[in-house]
Structures are given as C-alpha cells and as structure tokens.
Structure 1
Amino acid sequence: MSSISTAARTGFARGGYEFRQTLTTPADLWQYIFPTVALFVTVFFMRGATVPGTDISLGARTLPSAFGMGIAFTGLMTVAIMLVTDREDGTLLRAKATPNGMSGYLVGKIVLVGGMTAISFLLQLVPGLFFVDGLHVDAVGWFTLLWLVPLGFIATMPIGAVLGSLLDGPRNMGLMMLPLIGLIAISGIFYPIMALPGWVQGVAQVFPIYWLGLGMRSVFLPDALTAAELGHSWRHLETVGMLGLWAVAGLVVAPMILRRMARRESGSAVAARREKAMQRIS
C-alpha cells in the first residue's frame, strides 16, 4: 500500500472518529445549536423590515447570506483554532513523529471540518426553508449549491490553516476575530452592500465572505432582488473566479507554511508553551 493511500485511509478514519465525537459531546453540540438559534432570533427581529426598493423581508435576505458566512467562518476560524490547539497540546508533534503522520493529520482535519460545515449548514437550511417566507430553491439553485459549498470550503480552509500556523497560541485568537468581524460587517451579510461607500465595496469583494454570501443569495432569493446587488446580477462567473483564485492560492501557500511550522515543532517547544500557559493560569 502506498504512503498516499495509507495517509488517506488513516486521515479519513481519524477525521470520522473526531467528527462522531462532536455529535456526542455536549460542548460541541452547543457549538452547532447556538449559532443556529442566534441566527433565527436575528432573522425574527428583522421580519418587519424590507430590502430597500423591494417587498422582500430583510430577514429572508439575511438568512442565505448567513449560510455563506457560516461556511467561511467554519473554514477560517475552526481550522485556525484546531491547528493552534493541536500545536499547543503536542498533537501536531505526535503527528510529525509518525510516518505519513502530517498527511494523515491534514486529511483528518479536512474530513472533520467538512462534516462540521455540512451539519451546521443543514441545521440552518432545513428550518429556514420551512419557517422563513421568501426563500425558494429551483433546479438551478440546487446545482449552484453543488459547486458553491465545496468551492467555498476549499477557498477558506487553507486560509484558516495559514492563519493558525502564524498565531503563537490560543490567547492570540482575538487577532483573527476582530478583522473577521470587520469583514462580515462590510460584506453585505446583514445589509445590502450597495448601501456602503464604494471603496468599502471594493475591499469586501477581495475576500471570500462576500462571494459566498452573494452565491447563497442567488440560490434562495428571487432574481428581482438583484436590484440590491452590485451590477444588478448574481455574478456567478465572478463568484467562481474569485473563490477559485482563493482556493488555488491557499492550496499552494498553505502546505508550504504548514511544512515550515511542522519543522519547527519539537518537544522543547511544546514544553515551553505549556510552561507559559501554566504561568498565565497561576
């Protein structure tokens, strides 16, 4: 059996086991449920407002946007947090010391985060289709979902891996959160991006969050709502292009940075981080 197939088999087994654990651990289940509840509470309080120039509920517009935001957030933050945590507790060092361990580790994380993304999306999608007026999905919409979700996942997960590799420890996660919250605020997730200044619109269109939100809106909302979008179009070709660029760049850069980070891992480095953590607690 080749090293590649061994790493893939080990990684799938590890990722599947860790994913099943998230479905039976109360703390992990709360991470699935709380964002869904918070999202629908937000949509509920938006029910009386409409998108300017239309009779579409602002809540109905926000929900698909939040689907895209959730995929981006999972790919970025969850991967970064896992990587930082595994480096802190020595999991990454143990993977490095095992034959094909790093490859298996990465495959496992892809399986784990992919499963978490799918469950989180379904928890929001199913009740949204039944309880939020104004959402609909036709055959073209389902086809769009088939390429949008995996492409969005591939575009964001490598970014999360790069950011997780660059952070010193869990205490620095705030360095990621603040810019991410800022990007969400300007990416047209909770209010049409047309209402923002032109330069802000340009910044938002550089990053995947805007394109994932736009793609999800194209799936669930009527074409009449393109009046509130840039170019008055769902811009599918641009969405594929921008997400594809991020995916290619991430898949090229992330492995190099991860290999460099793994080379720096050692028993003394893990021990030093644990000592610093104990000093902060005491």
Structure 2
Amino acid sequence: MSAATTHPAAGARAGSTSGRLPGAVRLSLVRAGVEVRQFWRERDAVVFVFAYPILMLAIFSTVFGNEDQGTGVTEVGYAQYFLPGMVATGIMLTSFQSLVISIAVERDDGTLRRLRATPLPSTAYFGGKVLLTLATSLVQTAALLAVAALAFDVPMPTDPADWVTFAWVFVLGTATGTICGVGFSSLPRSGRSASAVVTPVVLVLQFISGVFFAFFALPSWMQTVASVFPLKWIAQGMRSVFLPDEMAALETSGSWQLAATAGVLVAWLIVGLVVAVRTFRWRRRDDG
C-alpha cells in the first residue's frame, strides 16, 4: 500500500492525544490534500479537465464568431450565449465523468479495498472526493470565465444577485454531479471500461442540454428528455446569470425557472445519494 494512501489515517491517529481518529471534517480535509496531489500527478487528466471547456468555447466562438444568436427578443454573441453551457459542462466533466473514471480505476487497482482495511472512515474518503471536485471545478470555471472575458469580450454580470445565483447553482450542481458520479461508478465492470461507459452518456447529455446548440432551437421532444437530467438545469441556471433578462422568454416556460432548477438538482442529489449508498462497491465484482 502506498504511503500516499495510508498516511492520512495513520498520521491522524498518531497525532491524536486521545488515541482516537480526528473528526470526519478534519480527515476529509487531509484526504482531500492527498486527492489533490494525486490529481496533479495525472498531467493528461489535468489538461483535459481544465482545457476542454475553454477549447470548445474558443473553437465554436471562432467558427461562429460573426453570427449573433438572433432571437427576435435580443441579440447576443455566440460566445456569450454558449458560455453558460460551457460552465455547466465543465462542472459535469469534473464532478461526474472524472469521478466515475477515477473511482472505477481505484476499485480496479485495489486502492479502495486497501483503504477499506484502514481506520480511515468512508465518510472521509467521499469527503475528500467532494472537496477535490469543488476545488477543481472552481479553478476550471474561473479560468473559463477569465478567457471568455479577456479573449472574447463576454460581459460579466454586475448585479450581486446574479453572482449569488451563480454560487448556489455552481455548488448545488457540483454536489449533484459528484453524488451521481459516486452512484454511477459501480456500473463499469473495470477501470479500463469506465471511460467507454460514461463518455457516451456525457456526450449525449451535452448535445441535448443546450451546451453546443441553442436550447430553444432543439426539437421539443429533445427538450423534454433533457429536462429530466441535471445538465440542462445547470446550463439554464447559468444562462440566467450570464444572459440578459429578455432571453428568459426563449426558455420552454418563458422564464428562468430557478426554483425548478433547485428542485430538480436537489431531487437528483437525493436519488444519487440513495443509489450510491445501495450500490457502491469497495471491491471488484470478481473479488467477491
């Protein structure tokens, strides 16, 4: 067992004067430190996580940069209209896709089995994953917004209320994606197949949720299907932050539906938690 895996629990226990492990919050912070160090060692994953939303925004904005999103209500540039979708898909990639793959790999190579045999509580392991996801999502989103503002002249919100909306949609969306990722991570049969299992799901959701195409231009049946899943609501919540208020008329209900956004994300958070608790496996299927 590697030192990076065993150190958090062993070190915390040795440093406790009472002979007991520290609280779950402290252990989660320690575990998060390990997760962050391991994440930065995976150079290809780091580049993909941080660069993908920026590259997609840059490519599409360059190709369609001279085309405004004519709506009959107002007009905004391509980069401004699709920035919310890129923020949303970045959250999904970091909190859902990356987490599914990393947990499947850790189960496959025996890391989870060894962790399960240490004094480190499962809450600390999952807490470390959540904190890692929040940290990487925050850095990724900050980089994306900076590029959008500096390279593509996308106006940033000036109303503090918009940033409050941004904050709760970001946190709730990240938490929902993380919990759903933990639940979905038991589906791949091995670490090698995890990417093949989760990537098509993410791609389909991106295409039907208003990430690469204007959501109001999609067929109604596709909008209905997308409305079942969190990505559409994260993107819609972000559109309420970065687009003019007049653009709300283009949404399926004629409004931003922020209460519905919160409700759907909370519902998926609860469903994901139930599924994760009932299906999460510390061992591979062939380990018994």
Report the TM-score range of the alignment, normalised by the length of the smaller protein: 0.7 to 0.9
**Aligned runs of 1:89-168 on 2, under 5 Å?**
89-137=109-157, 138-168=159-189
Matches within 5 A, 1:7-156: 7-23=24-40, 26-35=43-52, 36-53=54-71, 54-137=74-157, 138-156=159-177
Structure 1 residues 2 and 45: CA distance shift in structure 2, 3 A: farther
Which blocks of at least 5 consecutive residues in structure 1 are unaligned?
271-282
For 1:170, the equivalent position in structure 2 comes to 191
Alignment of 1:220 with 2:242, yes or no, is yes
CA contact (8 A) 1:16 1:111 kept: no
Show structure 2 runs of 5+ residues with no match: 1-17
Aligned residues with identical type, % of pairs: 30
The CA distance in 2 between the partners of 1:68 and 1:169, in whole Å, is: 28
Change (3 A) 1:96 1:46: same
Q: Name whichever of 208-217 and 246-255 sits farther off.
A: 246-255
Residue type of the alignment partner of 1:159: C
20-29 vs 229-238, greater mean Cα deviation? 20-29
Residues 99 and 178 in structure 2, CA contact (< 8 A), matched pair in contact too = yes
Q: Output the amino acid matched with 2:166.
A: L
TM-score, reference length from structure 1: 0.85
Q: Deviations over 1:94-125 (max 9, x none)?
A: 11101244222111111212211111111101
RMSD of aligned Cα (Å): 2.4
Correspondence for 1:6: 23
Q: Which residue of structure 1 aligns with residue 259 of structure 2?
A: 237
Q: Residue 186 and residue 92 in structure 1: after superposition, are their counterparts in 2 closer, same or farther (change >3 A)?
A: same
Letter in 2 for 1:122: A
TM-score (norm 2): 0.84
Cα offset, 1:154, TM superposition: 1.4
Note the C-alpha offset of 1:148. Answer: 0.8
Q: Residue type matched to 1:76 in 2?
A: F
Following TM superposition, the consecutive aligned residue runs of length 4 or more in structure 1 with deviations greater than 6 angstroms are: 1-4
Q: How many Å separate the matches in 1 of 2:83 and 2:20?
A: 43
Residues 187-235 of structure 1, C-alpha deviations (whole Å, 9 max, x = no match): 1112222222221111000001100111111111111222332222111
* Aligned-partner SS, 1:231: coil
